[in-house]
Amino acid sequence: MPTLEIRDLHVSVETKEGPKPILRGVDLTIASGETHAIMGPNGSGKSTLASALAGHPKYTVTSGTATLDGEDLLAMSVDERARAGLFLAMQYPVEVSGVSVANFLRTAKTAISGEAPALRTWGKEVRGAMENLRMDTAFAERSVNEGFSGGEKKRHEILQMELFKPRFAILDETDSGLDVDALRVVSEGVNRAKEQTDVGILLITHYTRILRYIKPDFVHVFVDGKIAEEGGSELADRLEEEGYDKYLGANKTVSA
């Protein structure tokens, strides 16, 4: 069974004052079909984990390993990681002026699967996926993320996840900035992908709200660049009650 394995991962971010360590030894194993929630206070390194796994140039892995199905993820370029089956739904999707959503989706799909998708079935698939996410089909002609509302950007990220069919998807605070309706629509999209493709999911969130719609198999609490506690979905319920104060009290080195 395909797995995403992270072992003792240390990551620094480039700052003007030099490299600053953020992740201090993360261990995590995600198997296909599993949903892992990573929760934690602001500044604990959750999003750094997402960006570092995807290969963002701002982050440097200083030690540790990350493998996808035994393949060394960290040795791959950003696009190679995506083609190997890793997907990152970004917290702040970037605008690409003059490139239509339709063109972008087709180009990316072609890159990921190594061949252009069959025209007729692809068009149908895109339209169907957009309808499921309650996106107007006129959306396909707009420039990527340009002038999109926060909710539209997140739907567009999940649309890609459904269409590209990754083996592992990292959802980086996909729930942030969504109203309840949008949160439900987006969560349905994630659940559809889970049912249809057996994708393994790393769901990064500050809040427990999204976990009412997407049931995690495992919950990991991130504090100060490592996992401070792990458990099942009941751990999320406890965090809902208690918040992160307990962890921060003991380990107050990271500011938000």
Q: Applying CB under 8 A, which residues contact another protein?
A: 54-57, 77-79, 81-83, 87-88, 90, 93-99, 103-104, 107-108, 111-112, 143, 146-147, 160, 164
Q: How far is the CB of 65 from another protein (least distance, A)?
A: 20
State the nearest-atom distance from the C-beta of 108 to another protein, in Å. Answer: 4
Closer CB to another protein, residue 56 or residue 184? 56
Residue nearer to another protein on the CB measure, 100 or 251: 100
Least spacing, CB of residue 155 vs another protein, in Å? 16
Three-class SS of the chain: CCEEEEEEEEEEEEECCEEEEEEEEEEEEEECCCEEEEECCCCCCHHHHHHHHHCCCCEEEEEEEEEECCEEHHHCCHHHHHHCCEEEECCCCCCEEEEEHHHHHHHHHHHHHCCCCCHHHHHHHHHHHHHHCCCCHHHHHCEECCCCCHHHHHHHHHHHHHHHCCCEEEEECCCCCCCHHHHHHHHHHHHHHHHHHCCEEEEEECCCHHHHCCCCCEEEEEECCEEEEEECHHHHHHHHHHCCHHHHHHCCCCCC
Instruction: Choose between 96 and 254: whose C-beta lies nearer to another protein.
Output: 96
Min dist. Cβ of residue 243 to another protein (A): 32
In whole angstroms, the minimum distance from the beta carbon of 224 to another protein comes to 26
Nearer to another protein, 61 or 96 (CB): 96
Q: Which is nearer to another protein, 104 or 207 (CB)?
A: 104
